[in-house]
Amino acid sequence: MKWIPAVSKRTMFIYFILLFLLYLFYALNTYLVDERKLTQKYLFFKRHISNYTSVSVRFASFLGINIGEDNNYQSQYPVKRLPDALIIGVKKCGTRALLEFLRLHPDVRAAGSEVHFFDKYYQKGFEWYRDKMPTTIKGQITMEKTPSYWVTRSAPKRVYAMNPSVKLLAVVRDPVTRAISDYTQSASKRPSLPRFEDLALVNSTVGWGGIPSVVDATWPPVRLGVYARPLRRWLRRFPRTRLLLISGERLVADPAAEMARVQEFLGLKRVITDKHFYFNSTKGFPCLLKSESRSIPHCLGKTKGRSHPHIDPTAIERLRDFYRPFNERFYQMSGINFGWP
């Protein structure tokens, strides 16, 4: 009779397993079917399912199969997605202003800080990148801005590998003021930095007015203003229609008009208008009447819109002469005459 308790133990164990499986099956169904019973835990579970669904949709579209992204999970619950649009540059041209203005749109969600995925952290993989993104619901655009992508040689290829239909935005500005802005930022961190003129111009041949006549094209603040070179790299991968070039000057002079172009390019309803901006004469820049995070009028932080040091006009002239042919090339390639002096 010793075997009776042994069998009942085994039977009880089997019953327990069966009951557990039954519960698991029921629970899964409840989570997936009954939307109203969602709790934090269920939502977490569904978000993971959505992430994997989204990966499979992308993989299928890579193979040329359209399995459709319009499912319940993606349309109703916020999930993290890879960016649909990127602000790829250019450093010190107004990239923060552009991102903050875009954030006014209810259908745009953007990562707060620069992610640097395509230049520094590419080895971490797309799941790491996705995790840095804000959550979005269907119809919302996921965005990120990292200005160094503009000059990262491998960035166009890597961005293309993520999504060949991604929309690219780049703000450009008169390269001379851009260089001064870049220098001003560095000097604010290192007050002992030599004068702008001494870094931008090489000391070999002293020209008229005692100012060296040769521009140091290797100094990064100068080099970054040669926009034609990086533009060629991006246009080797992406058609011109996928890249919107935004004038940094117009973004300051008429932010609403420039944002109208941006919204059209991104396929968004025109929500951001001149009602969102006011000109702050103390700062000398357009500021926001309210934003997603603040309901009172405010300007961008004090690191944006700094006052620049006085630069010798002869040095400015030398730089203008240096940039002129590069600017011409850039106007030709982009099909836009930005009218820089």
Three-state DSSP class for residue 101: helix
Instruction: For residue 81, give the nearest of 53, 61, 118, 40 by alpha carbon.
Output: 53
**Which pair of structure tokens corresponds to residue 177?**
């003021």
| Least distance CB 171 / ligand A3P (angstroms) | 7
148 binds ligand A3P (CB under 6 A): no
Q: Name which of 79 and 245 has its Cβ closer to ligand A3P.
A: 245
Rounded Cα–Cα distance for residues 255 and 125 (Å): 36
Burial class (CB in 10 A: 0-12, 13-18, 19+), 250: middle
Q: Which residue shows structure tokens 């002469």?
A: 321
Q: Are 263 and 272 in contact (CB under 8 A)?
A: yes
| Least distance CB 205 / ligand A3P (angstroms) | 30
Q: Please state whether beta strands 212-215 and 201-206 pair in parallel, antiparallel, or not at all (unpaired).
A: antiparallel
Rounded to the nearest 5°, which phi and psi values hold at 202? -85, 140
- Options 18-26, 90-98, 102-110, 121-129: segment touching ligand A3P (CB under 6 A): 90-98
What is the pattern of x (binds ligand A3P, CB under 6 A) and - over residues 5-44? ----------------------------------------
Three-state DSSP class for residue 310: coil
| Residues of this chain, 42-61, that bind ligand A3P according to CB under 6 A | none
By CB under 6 A, name the one of 111, 115, 143, 251 that touches ligand A3P.
Answer: 251
| Residues of this chain, 167-186, that bind ligand A3P according to CB under 6 A | 181, 184
| Residues of this chain, 204-233, that bind ligand A3P according to CB under 6 A | none
Instruction: Assess whether the previous peptide bond of 108 is cis (omega < 30° from 0).
Output: no
93 binds ligand A3P (CB under 6 A): yes
By CB under 6 A, name the one of 285, 322, 330, 340 that touches ligand A3P.
Answer: 285
| Least distance CB 172 / ligand A3P (angstroms) | 10
Cross-strand partners of 108: 141
Q: Name which of 130 and 144 has its Cβ closer to ligand A3P.
A: 144
**Which pair of structure tokens corresponds to residue 337?**
């005459």
304 binds ligand A3P (CB under 6 A): yes
| Least distance CB 229 / ligand A3P (angstroms) | 19
| Least distance CB 262 / ligand A3P (angstroms) | 13
Q: Name which of 31 and 330 has its Cβ closer to ligand A3P.
A: 330
Rounded to the nearest 5°, which phi and psi values hold at 167? -100, 135
Beta strands in the chain (DSSP E): 79-80, 85-89, 108-110, 135-136, 141-145, 167-172, 201-206, 212-215, 243-247, 277-280, 285-288
- Options 129-137, 189-197, 213-221, 297-305: segment touching ligand A3P (CB under 6 A): 297-305
By CB under 6 A, name the one of 245, 305, 334, 338 that touches ligand A3P.
Answer: 305
Q: Name which of 47 and 304 has its Cβ closer to ligand A3P.
A: 304
Instruction: For residue 325, give the nearest of 226, 216, 197, 215 by alpha carbon.
Output: 226
Rounded Cα–Cα distance for residues 315 and 74 (Å): 56
Q: Compute how many residues bind ligand A3P; rule: CB under 6 A.
A: 19
Q: Point out which residues bind ligand A3P (CB under 6 A).
A: 91-97, 147, 181, 184, 251-252, 285-286, 299-300, 304-306
